Amino acid sequence: MDNSVKYRIISEIINTKDERVLNAVKSLLNIEDDGDFWEALSEEDRAAIDEGLEQLDKGQYLSHESVREEIKNRFNF
């Protein structure tokens, strides 16, 4: 099969909002629904993720650029 056809199929899958189409593709490809990953996390992991999201909402984070600059200065790169 031509790669352009595969890319077209992938693009259509990514862009669809039709649950029937997605369920049909899952069925054709024998993809099992593993459930929600959140349920598999420990309470400690969930709390850490929630804390991180709260910090992001409050603007308490370092940008990629500032971390790169700090490492550059610290290690003389």
Q: From residue 4, how far is each of 12, 13, 23, 29 by CA, in Å?
A: 12, 14, 23, 19
Domain match, 73 and 61 both: yes
Residues 3-62 have pLDDT tens digits of: 888 999 999 999 999 999 999 999 999 888 777 788 889 999 999 999 999 999 999 989
pTM of the model: 0.45
Total domains present in the chain: 2
Q: Give the structural domain span for 55.
A: 35-77
Rounded (10°) CA dihedral 44, 48, 50, 55: 160
**Confidence bin at 77 (pLDDT 50/70/90):** confident
Q: In sequence order, what are the residues at sequence separation of 6 or more whose Cβ sits closer than 8 angstroms to the Cβ of residue 21?
A: 13
Domain match, 21 and 52 both: no
8 Å CB contact between 49 and 55: no
Question: What whole-number distance in Å separates Cα of residue 13 and Cα of residue 22?
Answer: 7
Domain match, 16 and 47 both: no
Domain match, 49 and 65 both: yes
Domain match, 22 and 45 both: no
Once rounded to an integer, what is the mean pLDDT over residues 65-72? 91
Domain match, 76 and 42 both: yes
